A = this chain, B = another copy of it.
Amino acid sequence: MLTIVGIGPGKKEGMTLEAYQALEQSDCIVGYTVYVELVRELFPDKEYYTTPMTKEVERCQWAIAQARAGLNIAMVCSGDSGVYGMAGLICELAGDAMAKDMPELAILPGVTAACSGAAILGAPLTHDFAVISLSDRLTPWETIKRRLQAAVMGDFVICLYNPASKGRPDYLQKACDILLEAGMADDRVCGVARHIGREGQSREVMTLRQLHDFPADMFTTVYIGNSMTRRYGDRMVTPRGYQKDVKI
Protein backbone atom coordinates (compact mmCIF):
# COMPACT_ATOMS: atom_id res chain seq x y z
CA MET A 1 0.00 0.00 0.00
CA LEU A 2 1.27 3.43 -1.00
CA THR A 3 -0.34 6.53 0.47
CA ILE A 4 0.57 10.03 -0.68
CA VAL A 5 -0.10 12.24 2.32
CA GLY A 6 -0.56 16.00 2.26
CA ILE A 7 0.53 17.03 5.76
CA GLY A 8 -0.47 20.71 5.62
CA PRO A 9 1.99 23.29 6.98
CA GLY A 10 3.71 20.70 9.15
CA LYS A 11 2.41 20.70 12.71
CA LYS A 12 0.05 18.02 13.93
CA GLU A 13 -2.79 20.55 14.43
CA GLY A 14 -2.83 21.38 10.74
CA MET A 15 -3.00 17.78 9.50
CA THR A 16 -6.27 16.07 8.73
CA LEU A 17 -7.16 13.18 10.96
CA GLU A 18 -6.82 10.74 8.06
CA ALA A 19 -3.35 12.10 7.22
CA TYR A 20 -2.21 11.61 10.81
CA GLN A 21 -3.61 8.08 10.89
CA ALA A 22 -1.92 7.17 7.60
CA LEU A 23 1.46 8.22 9.01
CA GLU A 24 0.78 6.36 12.24
CA GLN A 25 -0.10 3.13 10.42
CA SER A 26 2.76 3.20 7.90
CA ASP A 27 5.85 0.99 8.00
CA CYS A 28 8.05 3.69 6.49
CA ILE A 29 7.71 7.41 5.84
CA VAL A 30 9.28 8.73 2.64
CA GLY A 31 9.84 12.30 1.56
CA TYR A 32 11.93 15.35 0.83
CA THR A 33 14.44 15.80 3.64
CA VAL A 34 13.01 19.12 4.89
CA TYR A 35 9.39 17.88 5.15
CA VAL A 36 10.31 14.59 6.74
CA GLU A 37 11.92 16.49 9.60
CA LEU A 38 8.51 18.01 10.34
CA VAL A 39 6.92 14.62 10.96
CA ARG A 40 9.90 12.92 12.58
CA GLU A 41 9.12 14.78 15.80
CA LEU A 42 5.64 13.25 15.83
CA PHE A 43 6.74 9.70 15.03
CA PRO A 44 10.34 9.38 16.24
CA ASP A 45 10.36 5.58 16.07
CA LYS A 46 9.30 5.17 12.44
CA GLU A 47 11.60 4.20 9.62
CA TYR A 48 12.37 7.04 7.25
CA TYR A 49 13.69 7.33 3.71
CA THR A 50 14.59 10.80 2.51
CA THR A 51 16.04 12.27 -0.64
CA PRO A 52 17.00 15.90 -1.32
CA MET A 53 15.43 18.15 -3.95
CA THR A 54 16.12 17.11 -7.59
CA LYS A 55 15.86 13.43 -6.51
CA GLU A 56 12.09 13.24 -6.79
CA VAL A 57 12.00 10.50 -9.43
CA GLU A 58 14.30 8.22 -7.44
CA ARG A 59 12.26 8.85 -4.30
CA CYS A 60 9.00 7.91 -5.99
CA GLN A 61 10.49 4.85 -7.69
CA TRP A 62 11.83 3.64 -4.35
CA ALA A 63 8.43 4.15 -2.70
CA ILE A 64 6.59 2.24 -5.44
CA ALA A 65 9.10 -0.61 -5.28
CA GLN A 66 8.79 -0.91 -1.50
CA ALA A 67 5.01 -0.85 -1.65
CA ARG A 68 5.11 -3.56 -4.30
CA ALA A 69 7.29 -5.58 -1.95
CA GLY A 70 4.51 -5.47 0.61
CA LEU A 71 5.37 -2.53 2.85
CA ASN A 72 2.87 0.11 3.91
CA ILE A 73 4.56 3.29 2.62
CA ALA A 74 3.50 6.85 3.42
CA MET A 75 4.97 9.50 1.16
CA VAL A 76 4.70 12.94 2.74
CA CYS A 77 4.21 16.20 0.88
CA SER A 78 4.15 19.64 2.47
CA GLY A 79 0.71 21.24 2.14
CA ASP A 80 -1.43 19.28 -0.29
CA SER A 81 -0.31 16.01 -1.92
CA GLY A 82 -1.34 17.21 -5.35
CA VAL A 83 -0.59 20.94 -5.63
CA TYR A 84 3.05 20.87 -6.86
CA GLY A 85 3.20 17.63 -4.85
CA MET A 86 4.25 14.06 -5.50
CA ALA A 87 0.82 12.61 -6.37
CA GLY A 88 1.39 13.58 -10.01
CA LEU A 89 4.79 11.99 -10.34
CA ILE A 90 3.63 8.79 -8.64
CA CYS A 91 0.71 8.53 -11.07
CA GLU A 92 3.03 9.26 -14.02
CA LEU A 93 5.54 6.62 -12.95
CA ALA A 94 2.82 4.09 -12.39
CA GLY A 95 1.41 5.04 -15.77
CA ASP A 96 -0.95 2.66 -17.46
CA ALA A 97 0.12 -0.06 -15.06
CA MET A 98 -1.68 1.78 -12.29
CA ALA A 99 -4.87 -0.17 -12.58
CA LYS A 100 -3.01 -3.50 -12.85
CA ASP A 101 0.09 -4.42 -10.85
CA MET A 102 0.34 -1.22 -8.84
CA PRO A 103 0.03 -1.53 -5.10
CA GLU A 104 -3.11 -0.02 -3.66
CA LEU A 105 -2.69 3.72 -4.06
CA ALA A 106 -4.34 6.32 -1.82
CA ILE A 107 -4.00 10.07 -2.24
CA LEU A 108 -4.86 12.09 0.86
CA PRO A 109 -5.28 15.82 0.31
CA GLY A 110 -4.00 18.44 2.74
CA VAL A 111 -4.25 22.16 3.39
CA THR A 112 -2.17 23.78 0.67
CA ALA A 113 -0.10 26.92 1.39
CA ALA A 114 -2.49 29.08 -0.67
CA CYS A 115 -5.20 28.37 1.93
CA SER A 116 -3.11 28.27 5.11
CA GLY A 117 -1.31 31.50 4.20
CA ALA A 118 -4.57 33.18 3.22
CA ALA A 119 -6.00 32.42 6.66
CA ILE A 120 -3.09 34.31 8.23
CA LEU A 121 -3.55 37.32 5.97
CA GLY A 122 -7.34 37.54 6.31
CA ALA A 123 -9.27 36.45 3.25
CA PRO A 124 -7.42 37.19 0.01
CA LEU A 125 -8.83 34.13 -1.83
CA THR A 126 -12.55 34.74 -1.39
CA HIS A 127 -12.91 35.15 -5.14
CA ASP A 128 -11.52 33.42 -8.25
CA PHE A 129 -7.77 32.97 -8.06
CA ALA A 130 -4.75 31.63 -9.93
CA VAL A 131 -1.91 29.69 -8.32
CA ILE A 132 1.46 30.06 -10.05
CA SER A 133 4.90 28.76 -9.09
CA LEU A 134 7.79 31.05 -9.97
CA SER A 135 10.27 28.17 -10.02
CA ASP A 136 11.69 27.66 -13.51
CA ARG A 137 13.53 24.47 -12.61
CA LEU A 138 10.88 22.39 -14.43
CA THR A 139 8.90 25.09 -16.26
CA PRO A 140 10.22 27.51 -18.91
CA TRP A 141 10.19 31.13 -17.72
CA GLU A 142 8.22 32.06 -20.87
CA THR A 143 5.35 29.84 -19.64
CA ILE A 144 5.43 31.48 -16.22
CA LYS A 145 5.45 34.94 -17.81
CA ARG A 146 2.49 34.07 -20.02
CA ARG A 147 0.52 32.86 -16.99
CA LEU A 148 1.23 36.03 -15.03
CA GLN A 149 0.01 38.09 -17.98
CA ALA A 150 -3.11 35.94 -18.34
CA ALA A 151 -3.85 36.28 -14.62
CA VAL A 152 -3.78 40.08 -14.99
CA MET A 153 -6.07 39.86 -18.00
CA GLY A 154 -8.55 37.77 -15.99
CA ASP A 155 -8.31 40.01 -12.88
CA PHE A 156 -7.60 36.91 -10.80
CA VAL A 157 -6.26 37.09 -7.29
CA ILE A 158 -2.79 35.56 -7.71
CA CYS A 159 -1.05 33.30 -5.23
CA LEU A 160 2.66 32.74 -5.92
CA TYR A 161 4.51 29.65 -4.70
CA ASN A 162 8.32 29.49 -4.69
CA PRO A 163 8.64 33.26 -5.21
CA ALA A 164 12.42 33.27 -4.78
CA SER A 165 15.33 31.14 -3.60
CA LYS A 166 19.06 31.51 -3.19
CA GLY A 167 19.58 30.61 -6.83
CA ARG A 168 16.67 32.83 -8.00
CA PRO A 169 16.87 35.85 -5.66
CA ASP A 170 15.22 38.31 -8.11
CA TYR A 171 12.32 36.23 -9.45
CA LEU A 172 9.61 37.95 -7.41
CA GLN A 173 10.94 41.27 -8.65
CA LYS A 174 10.84 39.98 -12.24
CA ALA A 175 7.27 38.73 -11.73
CA CYS A 176 6.16 42.10 -10.33
CA ASP A 177 7.71 43.82 -13.37
CA ILE A 178 5.63 41.57 -15.65
CA LEU A 179 2.45 42.41 -13.69
CA LEU A 180 3.20 46.15 -13.87
CA GLU A 181 3.93 45.96 -17.60
CA ALA A 182 0.64 44.09 -18.06
CA GLY A 183 -1.15 47.09 -16.61
CA MET A 184 -1.61 46.26 -12.94
CA ALA A 185 -1.63 49.40 -10.78
CA ASP A 186 1.39 49.77 -8.51
CA ASP A 187 -0.83 50.38 -5.47
CA ARG A 188 -2.60 46.99 -5.88
CA VAL A 189 -3.09 45.39 -2.44
CA CYS A 190 -0.61 42.54 -1.93
CA GLY A 191 0.50 40.44 1.00
CA VAL A 192 2.97 37.82 2.12
CA ALA A 193 2.70 35.00 4.64
CA ARG A 194 5.94 33.58 5.99
CA HIS A 195 6.76 30.37 7.87
CA ILE A 196 3.09 29.38 7.74
CA GLY A 197 2.08 27.25 10.71
CA ARG A 198 5.65 27.11 11.98
CA GLU A 199 7.97 28.96 14.32
CA GLY A 200 8.27 32.61 13.31
CA GLN A 201 4.99 32.78 11.37
CA SER A 202 4.31 36.32 10.12
CA ARG A 203 2.19 38.33 7.69
CA GLU A 204 2.64 41.63 5.95
CA VAL A 205 0.27 43.61 3.72
CA MET A 206 1.75 46.02 1.20
CA THR A 207 1.38 47.53 -2.27
CA LEU A 208 2.60 45.90 -5.47
CA ARG A 209 5.37 48.50 -5.59
CA GLN A 210 6.52 47.43 -2.10
CA LEU A 211 6.17 43.76 -2.99
CA HIS A 212 8.53 44.39 -5.92
CA ASP A 213 11.31 45.06 -3.41
CA PHE A 214 10.29 42.53 -0.75
CA PRO A 215 13.05 40.05 0.13
CA ALA A 216 11.05 36.83 -0.40
CA ASP A 217 12.50 33.37 0.08
CA MET A 218 11.38 29.74 -0.10
CA PHE A 219 9.39 30.17 3.14
CA THR A 220 7.25 32.95 1.68
CA THR A 221 3.85 32.63 0.00
CA VAL A 222 2.80 35.73 -1.94
CA TYR A 223 -0.70 37.10 -2.61
CA ILE A 224 -1.56 39.73 -5.20
CA GLY A 225 -5.11 40.97 -4.84
CA ASN A 226 -7.59 41.48 -7.66
CA SER A 227 -8.94 44.94 -8.50
CA MET A 228 -11.47 44.71 -5.64
CA THR A 229 -9.12 43.51 -2.89
CA ARG A 230 -8.94 45.88 0.05
CA ARG A 231 -6.70 46.40 3.02
CA TYR A 232 -8.10 46.44 6.57
CA GLY A 233 -5.32 47.23 8.99
CA ASP A 234 -2.79 44.44 8.61
CA ARG A 235 -5.19 42.13 6.74
CA MET A 236 -6.16 41.83 3.09
CA VAL A 237 -9.66 40.87 1.98
CA THR A 238 -11.11 40.15 -1.45
CA PRO A 239 -14.87 40.76 -1.29
CA ARG A 240 -17.09 38.06 -2.71
CA GLY A 241 -19.79 40.63 -3.33
CA TYR A 242 -22.29 39.85 -0.57
CA GLN A 243 -22.62 43.48 0.38
CA LYS A 244 -21.29 46.85 -0.55
CA ASP A 245 -21.64 49.19 2.38
CA VAL A 246 -23.20 47.28 5.24
CA LYS A 247 -21.82 48.54 8.54
CA ILE A 248 -22.34 46.99 11.93
A198 CB → nearest B CB, Å = 14
Which residues between 132 and 190 of chain A lie within 8 Å of chain B, taking CB atoms?
132-133, 138-139, 143-144, 146-147, 149-151, 153-156
Q: Within 8 Å CB of A246, what residues of B? A: 57, 61, 92-93
Report the Cα distance A88→B84, complex, angstroms: 26
Q: Within 8 Å CB of A34, what residues of B? A: none
Residues B130 and A156 in contact, CB atoms below 8 Å apart: yes
Residues B128 and A237 in contact, CB atoms below 8 Å apart: no
Say whether, besides A111-B111, A129-B130, A239-B88, A94 and B232 are in contact (CB < 8 Å). yes
The stretch of A23-31, A117-125, A210-218 that contacts the partner chain: A117-125
| In the complex, A56 has a CB within 8 A of chain B | yes
Total count of chain A residues near the partner, CB < 8 A: 84
Tally of this chain's copies? 2
A63 CB → nearest B CB, Å = 11
Residues A237 and B115 in contact, CB atoms below 8 Å apart: no
Say whether, besides A14-B16, A147-B156, A246-B57, A87 and B138 are in contact (CB < 8 Å). no
| In the complex, A220 has a CB within 8 A of chain B | no
| In the complex, A89 has a CB within 8 A of chain B | yes
Report the Cα distance A234→B98, complex, angstroms: 10
Residues A242 and B138 in contact, CB atoms below 8 Å apart: yes
| In the complex, A235 has a CB within 8 A of chain B | yes
Q: Within 8 Å CB of A98, what residues of B? A: 232-233, 235
Shortest Cβ-Cβ A-B pairs, 5 listed: A150-B154, A88-B126, A138-B241, A88-B123, A87-B123
Beyond A80-B111, A89-B126, 9 extra complex contacts between A and B, CB < 8 Å: A83-B129, A85-B123, A87-B123, A88-B127, A108-B119, A128-B130, A146-B153, A146-B154, A146-B155
